[in-house]
Amino acid sequence: MQNASLLAAIDIGSNSCLLEIGHFAGERLVSQTCRKETIRLGGSLDAQGQLSSEAMERGWACLQRFAPLIADLPRERVRAVATQTLREATNRALFLAHGSAILGVPIEVIGGEEEARLIYQGVARLLPPSSRRRLVVDIGGRSTELCLGQGLAAHLTRSVEIGSVAWSLRHFSDGGLRPEQFAAAQASARAVLQPQAEAFAAAHWEQAYGASGTAGAISRVLAAQTGVPGLITRQGLGWLQTRLQQEGHSSAVHLAGLREELRPVIGGGVSVMHAVFELFGIEEMRVTQGSLRHGLLYGLRPPTPDAP
């Protein structure tokens, strides 16, 4: 594969940093390299919104490992973006300047609604063609992106400052997973999401999809129990919360399908997902492979006469 035909996208999120390199065979995206590292930026903002030096070093070290993988690619075929934690960080300029120098390409901090639009593009383009109205939900570390769309068109996008890392720090900071902690976390999540309830209610969509981190983590745990991959149900969420409460503390949670680095944030993630299901009237959610980085790659694709 000639480097000139490869594209690369880097997503610097609140919990993870992801790199995907691939090329297009017609309309089909063919992935060549995919890397994901947990950098946990979202848990490292202080009361003044300053990102800690330790968190910056973790992020830069990850970018140092990614840089050789994109070094030979034309700069116009690489896009690096940062999301909610760096939207919030008051000292983000320092991180962005050094991170951009490491990569050799500028790191853009994208707005929440643009993030939601790109997520929808990544999801929609990796799903089979359909005229059904879709709800796409991406619960990240510090923000949740919501999108209503049909086909490849996103019709309504929103970004809400709520996520698995933020809610774990707020409601499960002692590592506990007690019923009263879940009750408080879900109540506060519902309050934050309530202004979006009418616009994203079940009357406006026919199929709900979950993208990326939290949805993927929950679905893998449920799949280990049911044997059904890529599906989150209301009943399954209830079972998972009960199981977590029985364990009582994140250090005691050893569930098949749950990666070790996600144990500290599973309480927050389940709480936010519960609120999403309740407020938007979701009974089941399909978890997709499409994500922000796929939306970025489709946006980088050189135009062709037949490309939509």
What's the pLDDT band for 306 if we cut at 50, 70, 90?
low
What domains does the chain contain, in order, with CATH numbers?
A: 3-110 (3.30.420.40), 129-287 (3.30.420.150)
Alpha-carbon distance 283 to 204, whole Å?
A: 14
pTM of the model: 0.94
Q: What is the mean pLDDT of the chain?
A: 95
Alpha-carbon distance 294 to 46, whole Å?
A: 31
Give the pLDDT confidence score for residue 66 in this predicted structure: 98
pLDDT in tens, 144-200: 999 999 999 999 999 999 999 999 999 999 999 999 999 999 999 999 999 999 999
- Read out DSSP for 78-106? EEEEE-HHHHH-TTHHHHHHHHHHHHTSP
What's the pLDDT band for 1 if we cut at 50, 70, 90?
very low
Distance between alpha carbon 102 and the CA centroid of its chain, in Å?
A: 24
Which residues have C-beta within 8 Å of that of residue 147, sequence separation ≥ 6?
A: 116, 117, 119, 120, 134, 135, 136, 154, 156, 157, 158
pLDDT in tens, 191-223: 999 999 999 999 999 999 999 889 999 999 999
pLDDT(261) > 80: yes
Alpha-carbon distance 43 to 207, whole Å?
A: 32
Alpha-carbon distance 105 to 80, whole Å?
A: 7
pLDDT(3) > 80: no
Alpha-carbon distance 253 to 243, whole Å?
A: 9
